[in-house]
Amino acid sequence: MSIQRTAVIGSGLMGAGIAEVLAKAGLDVIVREINDEASAAGRRRIEKSLAKAVDKGKLDAAARDAALGRLSFTTDITDLSDRQLVIEAASENEDIKKSIFSELDEVVTDPEAILASNTSSMPIIRFAQSTSRPERVLGVHFFNPAPVQPLVEIVSSVTTADSVRDTVTGFVAEVLGKNPIQAQDRPGFIVNALLIPYLCSAVRMLESGFATKEDIDAGMVGGCAHPMGPISLVDLVGLDTCLYAAQSMYAETGDPATQPPVLLSRMVDAGLLGVKSGRGFYDY
């Protein structure tokens, strides 16, 4: 299967990044948003990212213009009817995602089309069961920022066809130039199954007054050779994203290591989401 016609649902931080990756790879990309204002914000986000790549010498102006020319935006989900690959990158809300997959099942006409979710931790099977084609649904989990980070988790549910998994794995490696790893549909997949307990532990350490955020970060950078400390990483990933991932994993496993710290919940309630909001545990 040669994938040329793609779509992304949502153009927030992750959706915009994924759309940029697809467009730079020479693919036709439709981005679906909930309204014109969100579409305009998504386009600005992509334009800013591409401009930064040009400024850093990682992309030339002609390639930037070509990528932008492959992007279109819509608020009408029926415009995705001819897509071969649709990647859902909506907010981490299970009901919203299941509703999107149900809609996609109705409007995407190609029986060979693949429907994917960028969720960081939610069960893929629940989205698959919202469709009449569960064998063609899987997880394609990019990492933030998607244009820069090389890793993509390919997540198969118990109903995902091996051929679909193999097609997407090859597409990610050969067309997008990313490094795919394959994971089963388990809480947190591979990366977040290890990462979320670590981040929650760091926030609990801060919350208890055990150490300052600066010393927690310095300890892991200087003591474990991590490129970034856990508190800074929570800010980069987004406090809301970390919270939703922890909630999803804790609901499924009951593992105390994944129980969201109260401080994390309160900061999300306050709108202190990290880098993307200008303030989290640190100011930006």
Cα(183)–Cα(222) distance, integer angstroms: 30
> pLDDT digits over 104-125, tens only?
999 999 999 999 999 988 999 9
Q: What percent of the chain has pLDDT over 70?
A: 100
Q: Which of 141, 156, 157, 248 is catalytic?
A: 141
Q: Which of 153, 157, 232, 248 is catalytic?
A: 153
Residue 55: the pLDDT is 95
Euclidean distance between the first and the last CA atom of the chain, given in angstroms as a whole number:
44
One-letter identity of residue 279: R
Does the active-site annotation cover 226?
no
Question: Residue with structure tokens 């955020």?
Answer: 213
The verdict on whether residue 48 carries a ligand-binding annotation is no
- Sequence-separated contacts (24+) of 140-143 with Cβ below 8 Å: 140/87, 140/116, 140/168, 140/172, 141/189, 141/191, 142/14, 142/17, 142/18, 142/21, 142/118, 142/178, 143/191
Question: Residue with structure tokens 């935006």?
Answer: 73
The verdict on whether residue 49 carries a ligand-binding annotation is yes
Residue 91: the pLDDT is 87
Does the active-site annotation cover 120?
yes
- Could you give all domains of the chain from N- to C-terminal order, each with its CATH number? 5-184 (3.40.50.720), 191-277 (1.10.1040.10)
Contact in structure between 277 and 283 (CB atoms under 8 Å): no
Residue 31 bridge partners (DSSP): 8, 73
Q: What is the pTM of this model?
A: 0.91
Does the active-site annotation cover 277?
no
Residue 92: the pLDDT is 85
Mean pLDDT of the chain: 96
